[in-house]
Amino acid sequence: MGTAESMLKSYPKDIGHTDIALLASCIEACIDCAQTCTACADACLGEDTAADLAACIGTDLNCADLCSATARILSRQTGNNTMLTQAVLNACVTACQQCGDECARHSHHEHCRICAQACRTCEQACRDVLDTVR
């Protein structure tokens, strides 16, 4: 368990009617998904069949980059903006959905099975926060 929630609680100004526990969960899901996707791309590269997993590696890398950016943006309350939060969460949902679907197709590889799960968790966490900012 990371420090996302205690850090949000220590923010010195009022952060409105934000559901802090939900937001913290989403930040943790994003950074966990980013790490898992980075490791999954690498494990796919280590397979003898890496060439067949090229699309999976590509979606892993995209998902890692978007989850990392989303985690950082959600971690910032200063200069926060609802439109940007929505847009980045929408993009993150798309990346997680695409990567989760792709990895699920290769779930006989343990790394893809775990990664598909991390993507589903992150996708849902992003949707949950999106529901509160709409």
Q: Report the interface residues with its own copies, using CB under 8 A.
A: 1-4, 6-13, 27, 31-32, 34-36, 38-43, 45-51, 54-59, 61-62, 64-66, 68-69, 71-73, 75-81, 83-84, 87-88, 90-91, 94-95, 98, 102, 109-111, 114-115, 118
80 vs 132, which CB is nearer to its own copies?
A: 80
Q: What are phi and psi of 48, to 5 degrees?
A: -65, -25
What minimum distance in Å lies between the beta carbon of 124 and its own copies? 16
- Let me know: does 92 contact 70? Beta carbons within 8 Å: yes
12 vs 17, which CB is nearer to its own copies?
A: 12
What minimum distance in Å lies between the beta carbon of 58 and its own copies? 3
62 vs 128, which CB is nearer to its own copies?
A: 62
How many Å apart are CA 67 and CA 52, to the nearest integer? 24
84 vs 133, which CB is nearer to its own copies?
A: 84
- Let me know: does 85 contact 73? Beta carbons within 8 Å: yes
**Long-range contacts of residues 4-12, Cβ cutoff 8 Å, at least 24 apart:** 4/28, 4/75, 7/75, 8/77, 11/77
What minimum distance in Å lies between the beta carbon of 61 and its own copies? 6
- Let me know: does 67 contact 114? Beta carbons within 8 Å: no
